[in-house]
Amino acid sequence: MKNTLALVLLVAAVSASCNRSGPAAGNGKPTVALVLKTLNHPFFVDMRRGAQEAADRLGVNLQVQAAEREIDVEKQMQIVENMIQTGIQVLIITPSGSREIVPALVKVMNAKVPIVAVDTRLDAKTAADAGVRTETFIGSDNYAGGKLAGEHLVKVTGGKARVAILEGIPGHETGDSRLRGFRDAVKDAAGMTIVASQPANWERDQGFNVFQNMLQAHPDITSVFACSDLMALGAIEAIAAAGKTGTIRVIGFDALADARKAIDAGTMEASVAQFPSEMGRVAVESAVKVIRGEKLPADIGVKLALVTKDNTK
């Protein structure tokens, strides 16, 4: 009898260990991981909210983790590797580094866990060389968003401005695409001159410091394009510290609540709105489709919109 009981327990244990891709133990719900760049940024807080609402509606056990800082790729890699061990069925990820995250995703592929990328694409060549594929990419067209910002600046300045650019993380697909779109939009306007362009790594304090230095080197700057609102808000603080509020147009990206307030107050010209809550919702819905065996399109686009003083609400 004891031997029979021991055998039953052993079979049960082996069965459980082999069923890592099955429903979460105890509640029968599928388990999906959402690994964000950070939760110290309103954009990703909104994305989490949309994802959680979808998970609650669809009966998904959603595990959410993120590094402290958006630029901490190594921490994100550790999180991904740890998540593999928890029995997740799909990994949803906003990559902190388009190339750097790929080695961790190789391990995800080896564990036979499907990957859904959100907001930031993987570097196509690096991923292909490593044999990493995603089920789909969900996000905005960052190039189009940068172009939208550039076209608006050309329009409101009459094609004449001395422009500073606050870039994101060098080599990061999201920021690079926004930068390219903006540059392409202004390049044919003869009166538009880009006098400075430097990374501020998506952070508000770096936006302040970098733009303060730019302004000291180029006191004739009349416009700023920041590849994210946090950097734009830092630039606005630097403009205020220099006593130049109202004399320099600032355009950001993300249309965060604080950016909308700045637009209403007249200290910011505009911001390109993404819809992170929508991205989170679609990502979880897509993960459920993957679990059901449904095939997804390679790209699922989320709309963009330019927010100005006329439409901040």
Looking at residues 17-35, what average pLDDT do you find?
64
Residues 251, 255: Cα–Cα separation, whole Å: 10
Rg of the chain (C-alpha set): 22
Pairwise CA distance, residues 227 & 198, whole Å: 11
In this prediction, residue 26 has a pLDDT band, given cuts at 50, 70 and 90, of: very low
- The neighbour count for residue 48, using CB atoms within 10 Å, is 19
pLDDT, mean of residues 108-117: 98
Chain centroid to CA 140:
10
Digit-coded pLDDT (tens) for 51-93: 999 999 999 999 999 999 988 999 999 999 999 999 999 999 9
Topology classification of domain 142-273: Rossmann fold (3.40.50)
Cα–Cα dist 47/43, whole Å: 6
122: part of which helix (H) or strand (E)? none
Q: Could you write out the three-class secondary structure of 238-272?
A: HHHHCCCCCCCEEEEEECCHHHHHHHHHCCCCEEE
CATH topology agreement for domains 2-139+276-302 and 142-273: yes
Q: Hey, where are the domains in the chain?
A: 2-139+276-302, 142-273
**Structure token digits, residue 222:** 């009349």
Q: What digits encode the pLDDT tens for the residues 262-311?
A: 999 999 999 999 999 999 999 999 999 999 999 999 999 999 999 999 98
| 224-239 pLDDT, tens digit each | 999 999 999 999 999 9
The CA distance from 205 to 136, in Å, is 34
Q: What is the pLDDT of residue 27?
A: 66
Q: Mean pLDDT for the chain?
A: 91
Which stretches of the chain are DSSP H helices? 2-18, 42-58, 73-84, 102-110, 124-130, 142-157, 173-186, 204-217, 229-241, 257-265, 276-291
Q: Find the mean pLDDT for residues 198-213.
A: 96
Q: How far is residue 114's CA from residue 300's CA, in Å, rounded to a whole number?
A: 16
Determine the pLDDT at residue 171.
Answer: 80
In the CATH scheme, what is the code of domain 2-139+276-302?
3.40.50.2300
